[in-house]
Amino acid sequence: MTDVSIHPSAVVEPGAKIAAGAAVGPLCHVGEDAVIGAGTRLVSHVTVIGATTIGENCVVYPQAVLGGPPQNTGHKGGRTTLTIGDNCTIREFVTMHTGTDNARGATIVGNNGNFLAYSHVAHDCTVGNNVTLTNGATLGGHCEIGDNVAIGGLSAVHQFVRIGHNAFLAGGSMLVGDLIPYAIAMGNRAKLRGLNVVGLKRSGMSRAEILALRRAYRTIFDPARPVAENVEIARVEFADSPAAMKIVDFIGARGKRHYAVPPLKAGADDADDDES
């Protein structure tokens, strides 16, 4: 552990691996099976236990607990893992659990994540890159979260739910069904409210592709026909739109949950008033 800064009050158990340039602050506890990447800083009062690997250049704030055992009665105590990518910010009181030994056995968090105070990543979740969980946001077990997803404060995501790339879940929502890529959902239980056009523009998506995506969204959720039929129409009509095909493929690869749909009395694209 050459070139590692460890405060005298910290507890680093034998066997822990801490890379050069990392810092372990006051009153932290790093367990024997933990791996801390280069340049990562545990500010103070941080607990890293279990088979937990934290990537490079992360910052973990006080009272975060990473690598606790899963809150799952099916888990029998076997070795399971939590892996966190590079350049993540993990704020106060965040909790992330390892996987379960009767399931995939691993919880995986991507790079450049921003996990605000009191947010939670449960067992066996897969979280993509550039994901933000705002204060108090909670993921149930086995969730799959795509890249560039933002989840608002005090929102909860039901276990086994999938959220597609570039989607946005508004604050105070309860999401019990899969959320398609590029969409906005809000409410209890959350419904689709249109496309995340602001996020799409920030990602650099062209105006032409956004317009094609809007048309595909309206086709898929046209109330005149069943969604399954609409999806097949969209598969043909928008075959030259990679973004639209991501939505079509996402719906086609259904998991264990249904998917969120627009409210019955709402327009098919009611959260997006940018026609220009």
124, 147, 178, 269: the catalytic one is 124
Contact indicator for 21, 38 with CB cutoff of 8 Å: yes
- What is the 3-state secondary structure of the chain? CCCCEECCCCEECCCCEECCCCEECCCCEECCCCEECCCCEECCCCEECCEEEECCCCEECCCCEEEECCCCCCCCCCCCEEEECCCCEECCCCEEECCCCCCCCEEEECCCCEECCCCEECCCCEECCCCEECCCCEECCCCEECCCCEECCCCEECCCCEECCCCEECCCCEECCEECCCEEEECECCEEEEECHHHHHHCCCCHHHHHHHHHHHHHHCCCCCCHHHHHHHHHHHCCCCHHHHHHHHHHHCCCCCCECCCCCCCCCCCCCCCCC
Say if residue 200's pLDDT is above 70.
Answer: yes
Biggest CA–CA distance in the chain, Å, is 68
Q: Can you tell me the mean pLDDT for 194-219?
A: 94
141 a catalytic residue: yes
- Distance in angstroms (rounded) separating the CA atoms of residues 98 and 35: 14
Structure confidence at residue 254 as a pLDDT band (50, 70, 90): confident
Asked whether the beta carbons of 99 and 72 are under 8 A apart, the reply is no
C-alpha to C-alpha distance for 275 and 17, rounded to whole angstroms: 53
Out of 55-69, 95-109, 145-159, 195-209, which region has the weakest mean confidence (pLDDT)?
A: 195-209
* φ/ψ of residue 152, rounded to 5: -70, 165
The answer to whether residue 21 is domain-embedded is yes
Check pLDDT > 80 for residue 19. yes
Work out the percent of the chain whose per-residue pLDDT is above 70.
95
CB 5 within 8 A of CB 21: no
Q: Which of 29, 75, 123, 142 is catalytic?
A: 123
Average the pLDDT over 51-59 and give the result.
Answer: 98
Instruction: Give yes or no: 165 in active site.
Output: no
Tell whether 33 is covered by a domain. yes
Residue 227 is predicted with a pLDDT of 92
- Would you state the pLDDT for residue 1? 52
Query: Residue 22 above 50 pLDDT?
Result: yes
* Domain annotation covers residue 120: yes
Helix axes 227-237, 242-252, angle to 10 degrees: 150
Residue 170 within a domain: no
**Does 61 reside within a domain?**
yes
Count of structural domains, the chain: 1
- CA-nearest of 51, 55, 60 to 91 is 60
Q: Is residue 215 part of a domain?
A: no
Position 269 pLDDT exceeds 80: no
**In a domain? residue 64:** yes
Give the pLDDT confidence score for residue 276 in this predicted structure.
31
What's the pLDDT score for residue 116? 98
Does pLDDT of 2 surpass 80? Answer: no
C-alpha–C-alpha distance, residues 10 and 30, integer Å = 8
Catalytic: 120? no
Q: What percent of the chain has a predicted confidence (pLDDT) above 90? A: 91
pLDDT at position 272, please? 46
The CATH number that applies at residue 13 is 2.160.10.10
Catalytic choice (25, 141, 146, 194): 141
The pLDDT of residue 264? 81
Domain with 10, as residue range(s), is 5-142
What's the mean pLDDT in 112-126? 98
Average pLDDT over residues 88-107: 97
The pLDDT mean for the chain works out to: 94
Rounded mean pLDDT of 147-166? 97
Mean pLDDT of 187-214: 94
* Mean pLDDT across 94-108: 97
* 256: confidence class by pLDDT, cuts 50, 70, 90: confident
For residue 190, pLDDT beyond 90: yes
Residue 197: closest CA among 167, 234, 231: 167
Cα-Cα-Cα-Cα dihedral sign, residues 180, 101, 107, 60: positive
Instruction: Tell whether the torsion through CA atoms of 73, 81, 122 and 23 is positive or negative.
Output: positive
Q: What is the pLDDT of residue 67?
A: 98
Task: Give me the mean pLDDT over the 16-41 stretch.
Answer: 98
Average confidence (pLDDT) over 176-202: 95
Would you say residue 167 lies in a domain? Answer: no
Q: Is the pLDDT of residue 40 over 80?
A: yes
